[in-house]
Amino acid sequence: MGFWDKVSNIDRRWIYLMVAVATFFPMIVVMQFPVELTPEAVQLYEAIDNLPDSSVVMLTFDYYPSAMAETRPMSIAALRHMFSKDMKVVTVSNIPLGGPTIAEDVTRSIAKEYGKEYGVDYVNLGYRANYVAVMHGLATSIESIFKADFTGTPLKDLPLMQDVKNYNDIEFIFVVADNATIDYWISIVNAQYNIPVGGGVTAVVAPKMYAFVEAKQLTGLLGGMKGAAEYERLVKISGSATRGMASQSLVHFLIIFFVIIGNVAYFVTRKHEKGQK
Amino acid sequence: MRNTLPVIIAFLAGIAMVISFFFNPERTVLGTFQENLLQWVTIVGGFTLVLGVFSIVRVNARAVSRRSDGWFYKLATVISVFAMAIPSIMPTSANSAFGKVFYSIFPISWAGAFGTGPDSIYDWLFNYVDSPMMETMFATLAFYIASAAYRAFRARSAEETLLLITACLVMLWRVPIGEALLRSIDVRIPDYINMFVMNGFNLSVQRGIIIGAALGMASMSLRILLGIERTYMGKG
C-alpha cells in the first residue's frame, strides 16, 4: 500500500484527535484575532443603538442548550447593549426545553452588572406552547397569552408590564434563534404587525436569513459565533464568542486542509488504479 | 358526522382567522373571537405537552417492565422526566391552596428548591446535567463533519468542484484568520464573498426555496380549510 493509499484510508480517530487538538490548543495558548464586521451586524447594532434610551425591546431566547455556544454570546452582548442604553427588556422563549431557563440565568446575571431591577427594567415571560398562536396573540394582548411571568408572578404585579400591553408598546424585537421560529417572527410579527425584527441565528440558519435582510424584513443579522463576536466587538466587551473565534478558525482551517488532502489522495489513488488496469 | 364535524370546525376556525386579520381586534367581535381562538390554541398546545409526557412515560415504562433491549436507558428516561417535572411544578410559596396544603406538611424552607427559578432543583438539573449533555452531543458533530470532509467531499465533477471551492472560501471568510488571509491576497475578497456569494447566489436560491415553501404552505392550508386534506384526522 502506497503513501496516498494510507492517507486515503487513515483511521478516523486520527482525524478526531486533530480536531480536538485544534479546538483545545487556543484555549491553552490564548490566541485572539481581530474580528472584522459585516454590514449585517452593523445594521443590527445601529438599529438598537438608534432607538431612544429607555425604549422597550423584546429579546427572544428561541434556542436549545445545544446551540448555546453560538447563541448565548449573542443574547449576552445584546443585553449589555440594551441595558447600557437603559432600555426595558422583555424576554420570551418559544422553546420549551431550555429557552426560558437560559433567559432567566443570562438576563439576571447581566442585569446585576448594570444594576437593573426585575419587574421594573426587565421581565422574563417564559414559554407558552404553539409559537404561531403566541406570536399572533401577543399582538392583541400579552396578558392574554402570559397571565404570569416565568416564575409565576402575575403580570399585573410587574410595573414594567403595566406599560407594555402588546406589540404597539415594543420598539424592536431582537430574535436569537437556532431554528425556524425566526421565520415566523419575520412573517407574522414583522410582515403583519410591522414591528422591526432583528436576528441572531446559528451559522446553519444564517444563509436563509440573507433573503429577509435584503427584503428589509429583517433588520440586521448575526450569523453563528462569528456574528456573536462581531456584536461583542460592537458593544466593546469581549466575551466567549471572541475567545471562541480562535478555536473555530483553527478547526475551519483543519477542515479545509482535510478537504484538500482527501481530494489529492482520491485523485492520486484513482490515477494509480487506472494505470494498473 | 365524525368526519364532517372536524372539517366544519377547521373551516370555520381557519376562515375566522383569515378574515379577522383585516379587523381591529379591540373594536370588533371578530377580533375578540380571534383573540379567544388564539388563547384556546395555546391551551390546547399545553395539553399536547401533557400528552407527550404521558406517551413517553407509557412507552418507556412498558419497555422497562418487559426488560426489552436497552431497558436501562428507558428507565433513565422515565426517571429524568419525573426528576425534571415534579420539582418544577411544586409550589414555591404557601399563597395558593395547593401551597398551603403542601407547606403544612413540608417545611417552607424547601420552597426555594421548587419551581423553575434560579437555584431550584429544576434549574440545577438543567444547568449541570441537561444543558452540558445537549451541548456535548451537538459538539460531536464537529468531529463527524471533519471526518466527512475528509472522506466524502470530492471534486468529481465541475459542479462539485465549484461547490467545494465556494464552501472553502465561505469557511475562510467566516473566521478572523481566514478573513485576514483573504484580505492579504486582495482587500476586497471578503466583501465580494459577502456580496456575491451570500447576498448573491445564496440569497437568490434561498428566496426561491422560501417562496416555493410558502406557496406549498398556502395550498396545504387551503386544502385543509376546504376539507380535501384530512391527514390531521388520521385519514388519507
DSSP sequence for A23-90: HHHHHHTT---PPPPPHHHHHHHHHHHTSPTT-EEEEEEE--GGGHHHHHHHHHHHHHHHHHTT-EEE
Extract the C-alpha cell encoding A249: 478558525
Which residue among A134, A137, A226 places its CB closest to the CB of B175?
Answer: A226
* Cβ of residue A243 closer than 8 Å to a chain B Cβ: no
- What was the pLDDT predicted at B38? 79
Partners of residue A192 in chain B, C-beta under 8 Å: 21
Contact call for B135 and A69, based on CB within 8 A:
yes
Give the C-alpha separation, A192 to A210, whole Å.
20
Q: Closest Cα to residue A61, out of A14, A23, A96?
A: A96
Query: Which of B38, B96, B130 best tests the A interface by mutation, with the highest count of A CBs <10 A?
Result: B38
Give the C-alpha separation, A144 to A164, whole Å.
13
Contact call for B35 and A144, based on CB within 8 A:
yes
- Which stretches of chain A drop beneath a pLDDT of 70? 1
Give pLDDT tens digits for A30-58: 887 889 999 999 999 999 999 998 899 99
| Burial (Cβ within 10 Å: 0-12, 13-18, ≥19) of residue B183 | middle
| Torsion angle (degrees, nearest 10) of CA A258, A260, A261, A267 | 140
Give the C-alpha separation, A142 to A125, whole Å.
9
Extract the C-alpha cell encoding B69: 433491549
Centre a 10 Å sphere on the Cβ of residue A160 and count the other Cβ atoms it contains.
18
- What was the pLDDT predicted at A41? 96
- What was the pLDDT predicted at A181? 94
Centre a 10 Å sphere on the Cβ of residue B123 and count the other Cβ atoms it contains.
19
Contact call for A36 and B179, based on CB within 8 A:
yes
Residue owning grid cell 436563509: A208
pLDDT at B26 over 80: no
- What was the pLDDT predicted at B236? 52
Give pLDDT tens digits for B78-120: 999 999 889 988 988 888 888 899 999 989 988 889 888 888 8
Q: Closest Cα to residue A129, out of B129, B143, B47?
A: B47
**Alpha-carbon gap: A86 to the closest alpha carbon of chain B (Å):** 24
More confident residue, A8 or B51: B51
Domain ranges of chain B: 1-89, 153-230
Please state, rounded to an integer, the average pLDDT across all residues of chain B. 89
Partners of residue B126 in chain A, C-beta under 8 Å: 65, 98, 101
Centre a 10 Å sphere on the Cβ of residue B207 and count the other Cβ atoms it contains.
16
Contact call for B164 and A259, based on CB within 8 A:
yes
Helix-helix angle A240-276:B176-185, to 10 degrees: 70
Contact call for B135 and A66, based on CB within 8 A:
yes
Query: Which of A136, A143, A151, A179 best tests the B interface by mutation, with the highest count of B CBs <10 A?
Result: A136
Those residues with Cβ within 8 angstroms of residue B63's Cβ, 6 or more apart along the chain or in another chain: B70, B71, B74
* Cβ of residue B141 closer than 8 Å to a chain A Cβ: no
Partners of residue A203 in chain B, C-beta under 8 Å: 174
Beta bridge partners of A148: A154
Fold of A39-237: Rossmann fold (3.40.50)
Contact call for B203 and A210, based on CB within 8 A:
yes
| CB A247, CB A31: distance < 8 Å | no
Q: What percent of the residues of chain B are helix, what percent strand, and what percent coil, each to the nearest 5? A: 80, 0, 20
**Alpha-carbon gap: A129 to the closest alpha carbon of chain B (Å):** 5
Residue B26, CB half-sphere, CA atoms under 13 Å: how many?
A: 7
- What was the pLDDT predicted at A1? 65
